[in-house]
Amino acid sequence: MLEKRKQTVAVMVGNVQVGGWAPVVVQSMTNTPTRDVFATTMQIKELAMAGSEIVRITVNDDAAARAVPKIVKNLRDVGVMVPIVWDFHYNWHLLLNKFPELAANLDKYRINPGNVWKWEKRDDNFRQIIECAIKYNTPVRIWINGGSLDDDLLQANMDANSKLEHPKKAGEVFIDSMVESALLSVEKAIEYGMPENMMTISVKMSDIQDMVQCYTMLSERTNLPLHLGLTEAGGSTKGIVSSSIALWLLLQQGIGDTIRVSITPEPGAKRSLEVEVCKNILQTLWIRNFQPLITSCPGCGRTSSDKFQILSKQIADELALKYDEWKDKYKTFTTTNIAVMGCIVNGPGEARNADIGIFLPWDGENPVIPVYVRGKTYKNLKGERVFEEFMDILIDYFEERI
Ligand code: SF4
């Protein structure tokens, strides 16, 4: 059973609240070169239209830094208000000195202490970026990544562990160090003047079990909002499956305030697939509603024609097409559960359990196709216009005429 969500500190990222009682927020990241103002603007727009509530961009060189104010202006001019997060590594202070307007244009900075602040060396980098965030009243994400964990801290912990009478396994020390690095960074940021309500944390790893353990431990030790994500999840089905499992295991425990799914895209594929996956994870767990939930069976040997597959796809496509218009027009649109089933084995049961259900009763040439509304038989459809008539019934349902 889904556990009650852990109450965390509320952090404002631009116009979006992360943590507190806010819904779990969907995030994504661009993969266009940020120096390409047009391509990056268009991709941020695509991600925002798909439902990404925060978008992160790489700012890695002078050309990218110069492009940021133009990208932000382009977006705001057409009413796209999605908060933009600054993703940087190593050279942020050089960019900031050259382009002081950069920091003011962004809604959050993501900091990897593994490459701005070295444990023990206590250099000024971390303090400077925190002071910059305070100056612009901009929140930060403390981002600890298994691939760039502060090696001085890890080595110190490994050495200390080896001297114990009963040393832990190296993997356990690694996870402990991830959590410790996150908490030390938060402690340091507070010391430099950062208020608690301007910080979120992520501890990303590529192994699901390690990642879940790491977040679970962290959640027990902080009330700051947690950004969940499985890093380097892979591509296509593998990336979707592994990210879904990882996020489910944590969300199920009530852990997590914002999520991102990192999928290696197919060449030329839409970047917004990662947003769709995030939304589907949250909707499938009944954490948030974004669109009608369609329950449909896979079909099997009992469906010797393709009528069922065609009908199922037509309904899904039409709902996707009408999404922008209907999500605001109909108050039950995003919470409606629709069943589209292939035959009488599970069809009547699923159709009854849904708000609206339809199932093909047999493979005959011209079948009578029952439609259920709120658990009761509503109408039988027949002929060539089954899809159109089903959509009419669905609109009547959204309009509360039935
Ligand atoms: S509902 Fe019927 S068609 Fe669909 S998978 Fe089950 S048995 Fe097969």
pLDDT per position as a tens digit, 235-261: 778 889 999 999 999 999 999 999 999
Instruction: Name the band, by pLDDT with cuts 50, 70 and 90, for residue 302.
Output: confident
Q: Looking at per-residue confidence, does 206 or 336 come out higher?
A: 336
- Give residues (CB < 6 A) around ligand 1: 297-300, 302-303, 341-343, 345-347
**Which ligand 1 atom is nearest residue 344's CA?**
2
Q: Would you say domain 293-398 falls under CATH 3.30.413.10?
A: yes
Atom of ligand 1 nearest to the CA of 301: 8
Residue whose CA lies nearest to ligand 1 atom number 7: 345
Average pLDDT over residues 5-24: 96
What does the block give as tokens for 23? 């819904």
Model confidence at 342, pLDDT cuts 50, 70, 90, reads confident
Q: What is the pLDDT of residue 355?
A: 96
How far is C-alpha 166 from the chain's CA centre?
40
Amino acid 95: pLDDT = 86
Q: Report the distance separating Cα 394 and Cα 335, nearest Å.
A: 13
- Above 70 in pLDDT, residue 64? yes
Q: Tell me what pLDDT residue 303 has.
A: 75
Say what percent of the chain tops pLDDT 70: 96
Interval between CA 370 and ligand 1 midpoint (Å): 15
pLDDT category at 90 given cuts 50, 70, 90 is confident
Quote the ligand 1 centre to 333 CA distance (angstroms): 26
In tens, the pLDDT along 385-400 reads: 999 999 999 999 999 9
What pLDDT shows up at residue 70? 96
pLDDT reading at 278 higher than 80: yes
Q: Give pLDDT, residue 97.
A: 79
- Contact yes or no for 381/399 (Cβ under 8 A): no
Q: Which atom of ligand 1 is nearest to the CA of 350?
A: 1
Mutate to test the pocket of ligand 1, among 294, 295, 302 (most ligand atoms within 8 A of CB): 302
Q: Find where tokens 């037509």 sit.
A: 314
Tell me the mean pLDDT in the region 294-307. 82
pLDDT at residue 122 greater than cutoff 70: no
**pLDDT of residue 229 exceeding 80:** yes
Average pLDDT, the chain: 91
Beta 84-87 vs 258-259: how paired, if at all? unpaired
* Confidence band of 305 (pLDDT split at 50, 70, 90): confident
Question: What pLDDT, on the 0 to 100 scale, is given for residue 365?
Answer: 62
Percent of the chain past pLDDT 90, that is, above it, reads 70
What confidence tier does 175 reach under pLDDT thresholds 50, 70, 90?
very high
CA of 279 to the centre of ligand 1 (A): 27
Instruction: From 346, 353, 362, give the residue whose CB has the most ligand 1 atoms within 8 Å, as the site to mutate.
Output: 346
For residues 115 and 88, is the Cβ–Cβ distance under 8 A? no
**What is the distance in A from the centroid of ligand 1 to the CA of 238?**
26
pLDDT for res 125: 79
Atom of ligand 1 nearest to the CA of 308: 3
CA of 292 to the centre of ligand 1 (A): 21
Asked whether the predicted pLDDT for residue 121 surpasses 60, the reply is no
Q: Find the 344 Cα to ligand 1 centroid distance in Å.
A: 7
Nearest CA to ligand 1 atom 5: 299
Query: What pLDDT is recorded for position 363?
Result: 62
11-284: what fold? TIM Barrel (3.20.20)
Nearest CA to ligand 1 atom 2: 343
Please tell me the distance between residue 319's alpha carbon and the centre of ligand 1 in angstroms: 23
Residue ranges covered by each domain of the chain: 11-284, 293-398
Helix (H) or strand (E) holding 69: helix 62-77
Region 164-189: mean pLDDT is 95
The per-residue pLDDT for 123 is: 64
Spacing, Cα 385 to ligand 1 middle (Å): 23
Q: Which residue has the higher pLDDT, 248 or 301?
A: 248
Write down the pLDDT at residue 336.
Answer: 95
Q: Within its chain, how far is the Cα of 285 from the centroid?
A: 13
Q: Are strands 25-29 and 54-58 parallel, antiparallel or unpaired?
A: parallel
Integer angstrom CA distances of residue 175 from 92, 204, 311, 350? 27, 11, 49, 43
* pLDDT, position 383: 86
